[in-house]
Chains A and B, each alone.
Chain A
Amino acid sequence: DIQMTQSPSSLSASVGDRVTITCRASQSISSYLNWYQQKPGKAPKLLIYGALSLQSGVPSRFSGSGSGTDFTLTISSLQPEDFATYYCQQSYSTLRTFGQGTKLEIK
Chain B
Amino acid sequence: QVQLVESGGGLVQPGRSLRLSCAASGFTFSSHAIHWVRQAPGKGLEWVAVISYDGSDKYYADSVKGRFTISRDNSKNTLYLRMNSLRVEDTAVYYCARDWNYNGLDYWGQGTLVTVSS
Contacts and interface: CB of A to CB of B under 8 A. Distances in A.
Interface stretch (B20-28, B76-84, B100-108): B100-108
A interface: dominant SS: loop
Given A1-B62, A43-B109, A49 B103 contact: yes
Interface of A: 1, 32, 34, 36, 38, 43-46, 49-50, 53, 55, 85, 87, 89, 91-92, 94-101
B35 interface: yes
B interface: dominant SS: strand
A4 B92 CA distance: 21
Given A44-B108, A91-B103, A91-B104, A96 B50 contact: yes
B interface, how many residues as a size bin?
20 to 34
A92 B105 CA distance: 13
A45 B35 CA distance: 15
Contacts of A43: 95, 97, 108-111
B2 interface: no
Contacts of B104: 34, 36, 46, 49, 89, 91
A46 B104 CA distance: 7
B75 to A, nearest CB: 25
Given A43-B111, A50-B103, A91-B104, A97 B44 contact: no
